[in-house]
Structure 1
Amino acid sequence: MSQQAERDRLVEIRRDLHRHPEPAWREFYTTARIVEELERIGVDDLYVGPDAIAEDARMAVPDDEELDEWYEQAREAGADEDVLRQLEGGYTGAVAVIEQGETDGAPTVGLRVDIDGLLRAESTDEDHEPAAEGFRSEHDGAMHACGHDAHATIGLGVLEAVKDSDFEGTLKVFFQPGEEMIAGGKSMAESDHLADVDYLLAAHVGLDHPTGEVVAGLDGFLAVSHFRAEFEGVPAHAGGEPNEGENAVQAMATAVQNLYAIPRHDDGATRVNAGQVGGGTATNIIPEEAFVEGEVRGETTELKDYMKERAERVLESAAEMHGCEVEITTNGEAPSAESDEELVSIVGDVAGETSGVENVVHRDELGGSEDATYLMRTVQQNGGKAAYVGVGTDHPGGHHTATFDVDEDSLPVGIDVLAGAIRNISAERP
């Protein structure tokens, strides 16, 4: 296949995924489409849905009604029904495995790519390429605003490139659901599939790096924990007998104010945010229910834990102050991690010799959170090595904006760098 024909095929896959963005645990069409390509490529082992993850480690799973709605939407879009049946209940994602050459004593190398979309509307502007070229999101209120359609495509391309090479060993590609909600990494990290992985790479497009630039190792992952606090009070007539009520909205409001008063820590950066709040039913009723959804972050896992413990103390104290009860749920969580220098050096060397790469940045800071860190830390704690790679891409809008898009010239660059690094990692065994 010519380079142009290969690029066209990658673009076709990426655009199909872009038209069908699906959020955490609702990646039904996405998983089925990935499985279709994996079967075309031909893999030695393929684990789909509940066979790809640790079921009890899923976080932020939607209710059955919402899952059924997205499931039916995928079916109507033409997703393979045999695959869909394996994904019922929101058990999405896949792990693909190839084994080549003399595998006895050879390393197992992993690649993690995320596959979920975001719950936000995509631009309809004429100068937004997906709208102009006819591959804008077909799902109202959802889009691929962070490049995970490109990540899934790159994962498929790497698998095929390695399969057609002189690679010796085992390659596992983890097509992970639920990254945007920090909800899926733990379930893949705790699956049996990661236990024998000696080296792991993860990758992301963009991140303020242009097409032609590769970051060999990203660090600066903020550990994060998402929470939902539900306050329950006592209703009363707001005009006739307000003293008989226990105001849940007051408790929620007190909690929001005091969350932002948590002291910073001298060991490093910490963050807190109350991103969504609500409560009450009418102006003349003392509210009996209220909620706040938010997050805490830390430069290290320990700093995140510091913020989480104090946030929970604030929420519980606010409820007690106003005579209410509070139930706190963790909706998503991820630790911090660091890229191992041995892998960063290999990626950097490969990138420097890859066509289309104009600049190699040895290391950079992510400055945000990513649940690939669960997989990275698991491999590292098992005695292996891990690194997170940045593949530059020009994008007209920032990540998570309505006009975000991926420069499709970055797809073959990402594939060539990652496939080359995987081959060299297996050969060098750093």
Structure 2
Amino acid sequence: MTEPIQDRLVSLRRSFHRHPEPAWREFTTTARLVEEIRGIGVDELAVGPDAYDPADRMAVPDADLEPWIERARERGADESLLERMTGGNTGAVAILERGDGPSIGLRVDIDGLFIEESTDPDHDPVDEGFRSEIDGTMHACGHDVHMTWGLAVLESIAESDFAGRLVVFFQPAEETGGGGCPMARSDFASGLDYLLAVHVGLDHPTGEVIAGIEKPLAMCHVDVTIEGTSAHAGKAPNEGANAMHAMGSGIVNAYGIPRHSDGMTRVNVGRAEAGTASNVIAERAHMECEARGETTALMEYTKRRLERTMRSAAKMHGCRADVEVVSESPRADSDPELQALVSEVAGGVAGVDRVVPAADFGASEDATFLMERVQEDGGLATYMIVGTDHPTSHHTPTFDVDERSLQHGVDVLVGTIRELEARHPVPQADAGDATPADDASAEVGE
């Protein structure tokens, strides 16, 4: 019989850490999750296209899937599962049906990042022998911890006398903002009374729990391709339409987009490339950009300005710009009723010595799709943070976690689920208490 997950939190987390896979390529990861879920025993398990409509996915890579499928095959992944995940349809949803009671969702993300993990002998994954085995890819944001939490919570609730419905979303493609939307639009997100989402660390130390985030930034990823006309840079530069010049104008002008009086906005061009040689007028340029806003409406304002800026820059130089919104996510704030409940539960968890009811997030997360879906359907949602000491920031080659936080996260999540069961229905605050600034759907003019 398989050793209980609760007894192997560290080894399971380290196993996931050794095999990180980026967005929509989580084939080995999904297969391992399915193996563990089947060992737990659930009432329903949906994988890939059975968990969501593939057409709702965002930021799906056009190529580069086959090497990841082959790697999963070499590692012994179930061939029938790989067939089901054809086209990059990764991830899973596990459901426990335990009679009358609340319907509770738990969302954890599963993808890694394109980061080469440090080989420094002082880096614990190197010293302890669980450094990433996949070159150029790393769990540098703690999703290996999140998956471990999801499985451990599922096991704990399955073995308890819980009455109700528990839906655990093992969501792919968070780092690209591509997986939250299809999960939120799926039938599995329908009728949830409560949704819990969770992250490790985020500059909060071991022993600290944030019961719910506020002010996550709405976000969009935008790809821009500029097509021009090549020419000899010395002999006839006037015959070309310089895509690189257009790109430069677009970048400068993007950073000049006016900030908005209604709240904070962000714009960034994170990657840009153009040209083939020093003596050739560049006929093609490509940029990867993003826009963010304090509300969904402010993000939309910035996105529209960014799109217009890039098209205008291309036109000014006789080129054409193709602008594609690759993925996006809305703002959704945690509900104070759940923040209060999580605070109470976390305060009684061994090893947790500080509970913060709420904190500004300041970044973006596509769990907001699920939060928004549940809230629009009349339920409550919160996105909590379980602190961990990490030697360097998220998304760096030396990121790691304090593994004591593994048990903290399980205990807070299981305790919250059981309290929701006991207190259901949790009274909701008067909707009239919300302020106009909290309304992410408010119109923002230009």
- Structure-2-length-normalised TM-score: 0.93
Q: Deviations over 1:175-217 (max 9, x none)?
A: 0000011111111111111012111000000011111111111
**2:92 counterpart residue number:** 94
Which residue, 319, 323, 338 being the options, matches 1:343? 338
Q: Report the identity percentage.
A: 58
Matched with 1:206 is 201
Which residue pairs with 2:36 in the alignment? 37
User: In the aligned structure 2, how far is the partner of 1:46 from the partner of 1:169?
Assistant: 17
- Where do 1:205-244 residues align within 5 Å? 205-244=200-239
Partner amino acid, structure 1, of 2:60 = V
- 2:268 corresponds in structure 1 to 273
Number of aligned residue pairs: give it.
Answer: 424
Unpaired stretches in structure 1, ≥5 consecutive residues = none
8 Å CA contact retained: 1:223, 1:300: yes
Residue of structure 1 equivalent to 2:440: none
SS at match of 1:354: coil
Distance in 2 separating the partners of 1:425 and 1:232:
55
Matched, 1:76 2:74: yes
* C-alpha separation in 2, matches of 1:419 and 1:295: 36
> Is residue 305 from structure 1 mapped to residue 300 from structure 2 by the alignment?
yes
Q: SS of the counterpart of 1:285?
A: coil
Aligned residue number for residue 24 of structure 2: 25
Are residues 1:47 and 2:46 paired? yes
Equivalent residue runs for 1:10-409 within 5 Å: 10-64=9-63, 66-100=64-98, 102-103=99-100, 106-409=101-404
Aligned amino acid, residue 322 of structure 2 = E
Distance (Å, rounded) in 1 between the aligned partners of 2:163 and 2:76: 37
Q: Deviations over 1:43-80 (max 9, x none)?
A: 0000001111221111111123x000111112212322
Q: Distance in 1 between matches of 2:301 and 2:252?
A: 18
Q: Verify the 8 A CA contact 1:212 1:356 in the aligned structure 2.
A: yes
Cα separation, 2, equivalents of 1:245 and 1:373: 45
Work out the CA distance in 1 between the residues paired with 2:280 and 2:5: 63
The residue type paired with residue 196 of structure 1 is G
In structure 2, the residue corresponding to 1:411 is in which secondary structure?
helix
Q: Distance in 1 between matches of 2:61 and 2:9?
A: 31
Cα distance in 1 between the residues matched to 2:82 and 2:12: 19
The answer (yes or no) to whether the contact 1:207–1:366 under 8 Å persists in 2 is no
Letter in 2 for 1:96: A
CA-based RMSD of the aligned residues comes to: 1.3
Say if 2:17 and 2:138, in contact at 8 Å, map to a contact too: yes
Distance 2:421 2:223 in 1: 43
Q: CA deviation at 1:8?
A: 4.6
SS of 2:59's equivalent in the other structure is: coil
Q: Distance in 2 between matches of 1:95 and 1:118?
A: 22
The code of the aligned residue for 1:280 comes to G
Deviates more, 1:23-32 or 1:357-366: 357-366
What is the CA–CA distance in structure 2 between the aligned matches of 1:134 and 1:80, rounded to whole Å? 26
Contact 2:97-2:165 at 8 Å conserved across structures? yes
Deviation of the 1:426 alpha carbon: 2.1
Counterpart contact for 2:200–2:386, Cα < 8 Å = yes
- Helix, strand or coil: the match of 2:341? helix
Q: State the alpha-carbon separation in 2 of the partners of residues 5 and 39 from structure 1.
A: 13
Letter matched to residue 382 of structure 1: D
CA contact (8 A) 2:6 2:152 kept: no
Q: Deviations over 1:306-343 (max 9, x none)?
A: 10010011011001101111111112211111100111
1:156-178, Cα deviation, whole Å (9 max, x unpaired): 01111111222210000000000
Amino acid aligned to 2:280: I
CA displacement 1:269-301 (0-9 Å, x = unmatched): 110000000111111111110011110100110
* Inter-partner Cα distance in structure 2 for 1:375 and 1:92: 18
One-letter amino acid of the counterpart of residue 49, structure 2: P
- Amino acid in structure 1 at the alignment position of 2:17: H
Q: Would the alpha carbon gap of residues 6 and 23 (structure 1) be closer, same or farther in structure 2, given more than 3 Å must change?
A: closer
Shift of 1:82: 2.5
Q: Establish whether residue 423 from structure 1 lines up as the match of residue 423 from structure 2.
A: no
- Give the aligned partner of residue 431 of structure 2: none
Are the equivalent residues in 1 in contact too, given 2:5–2:155 (CA < 8 A)?
no
SS in structure 1 at match of 2:289: strand
Match of 1:138, SS state, is coil
Cα distance in 2, alignment partners of residues 285 and 53 from structure 1: 46
Is the 1:350–1:420 Cα contact (8 Å) retained in structure 2? Answer: yes
Kindly indicate whether the alpha-carbon contact (under 8 Å) linking 1:10 and 1:411 is maintained by their aligned counterparts in 2: yes
Shift of 1:6: 5.4
**Any stretches of 5+ residues in structure 2 without a counterpart?**
427-446
CA distance in 2, matches of 1:238, 1:143: 42
| Distance in 2, Cα, partners of 1:75 & 1:220 | 42
What residue number does 2:435 align with?
none
Q: Secondary structure at the match of 1:327?
A: strand
- Tell me, yes or no, if the aligned pair for 1:168 and 1:427 is still in contact at 8 Å: no
Q: Distance in 1 between matches of 2:244 and 2:203?
A: 40
**TM-score with structure 1 setting the length:** 0.96
